[in-house]
């Protein structure tokens, strides 16, 4: 499969369908968790009164969190029309009439579409699913205003990334019943892993929280189907950003459990554009 074919939305996993299903279940508790997760990357003092662009806005939960933390205006884009619908529905439900805008757009079309840069460009767990990760990161960098912040999360490289890339292609192109079988196998293996480490599965699932507020079952579907898939070592992304005039202000480096056998954690980076 060529890189160009990976840029076509038709070859991508249908993240939007998953986001639509999740968005209907969102409560104030989900929002509080998402606000806390965003605030550990971007405190109120950095968001208040700022303009933010969310690339790959998904359900719109990060956009809503930014607004609740004081952002002056938040724009969201996503290549998946279902994600756009989910984000609009969520924001209309919890922040009707607020200073936000959502539209369908590929990250690669943003430079010619947008007439200005942003105080904050945010993209959590998205750019590694574009089919051309480094190009997508470069575009995100170009949209940050001088002294502005880039906030990204990317999959960390693990010894089993090649396996996951193949699995995700199979899952994305498989009929629903095959996806259900794969999910069942993954969940069964995951529960066994919890039991082997003396953890209670029910308690784990009840307490499960992600930076996007997603519940475990939606997150499993999201992980298994996340194609296209790329990953990056922390030093690679740090050097890439430094060459483009960014200074890393904050990073959260996570070690994937079982060498990535149950998924690759996202490393998070906040970098300031010096000029």
Q: 23-64: per-residue pLDDT in tens? A: 888 999 889 989 999 999 999 999 999 999 999 999 999 999
Do the domain assignments include residue 105? Answer: yes
Do the domain assignments include residue 13? Answer: yes
CATH of the domain at 85: 3.40.50.150
pLDDT computed for residue 212 by the predictor = 54
The range of the structural domain enclosing residue 120 comes to: 3-158+226-273
Whether residue 259 is predicted with pLDDT greater than 50 in this model: the reply is yes
**106 Cβ neighbours under 8 A, 6+ residues apart:** 7, 9, 79, 130
Do the domain assignments include residue 177? Answer: no
Do the domain assignments include residue 181? Answer: no
Do the domain assignments include residue 185? Answer: no
266/231 Cα distance (integer angstroms): 9
Average predicted confidence (pLDDT) for the chain:
91
User: How many domains is the chain built from?
Assistant: 1
Whether residue 65 is predicted with pLDDT greater than 80 in this model: the reply is yes
pLDDT band at 213 (very low <50, low <70, confident <90, very high): low
Do the domain assignments include residue 184? Answer: no
137/118 Cα distance (integer angstroms): 15
pLDDT computed for residue 209 by the predictor = 64
Whether residue 5 is predicted with pLDDT greater than 90 in this model: the reply is no
Do the domain assignments include residue 183? Answer: no
Do the domain assignments include residue 28? Answer: yes
pLDDT computed for residue 210 by the predictor = 58
């Amino acid at each position: 499969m060529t890189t160009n074919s990976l840029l076509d939305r038709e070859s991508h996993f249908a993240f939007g369908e998953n986001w639509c299903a999740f968005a209907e279940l969102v409560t104030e508790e989900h929002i509080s968790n998402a606000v806390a997760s965003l605030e550990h990357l971007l405190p109120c003092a950095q968001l208040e009164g700022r303009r933010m662009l969310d690339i790959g806005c998904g359900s719109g939960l990060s956009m809503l969190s930014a607004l609740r933390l004081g952002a002056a205006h938040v724009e969201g884009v996503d290549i998946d029309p279902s994600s756009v619908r989910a984000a609009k529905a969520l924001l209309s439900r919890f922040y009707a009439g607020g200073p936000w805008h959502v539209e369908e757009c590929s990250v690669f079309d943003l430079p010619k579409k947008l007439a200005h840069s942003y105080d904050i460009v945010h993209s959590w767990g998205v750019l590694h699913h574009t089919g051309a990760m480094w190009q997508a990161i470069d575009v995100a960098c170009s949209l940050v205003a001088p002294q502005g912040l880039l906030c990204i999360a990317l999959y960390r490289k693990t010894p089993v990334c090649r396996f996951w890339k193949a699995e995700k292609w199979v899952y994305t192109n498989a009929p629903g019943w095959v996806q259900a079988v794969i999910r069942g196998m993954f969940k069964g293996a995951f529960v066994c892993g919890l039991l082997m480490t003396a953890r209670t599965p029910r308690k784990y699932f009840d307490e499960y929280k992600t930076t996007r507020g997603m519940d475990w079952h939606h997150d499993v579907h999201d992980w298994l189907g996340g194609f296209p898939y790329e990953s990056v070592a922390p030093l690679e992304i740090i050097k890439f950003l430094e060459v483009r005039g960014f200074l890393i202000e904050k990073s959260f480096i996570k070690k994937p459990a079982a060498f990535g056998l149950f998924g690759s954690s996202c490393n998070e980076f906040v970098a300031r554009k010096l000029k």
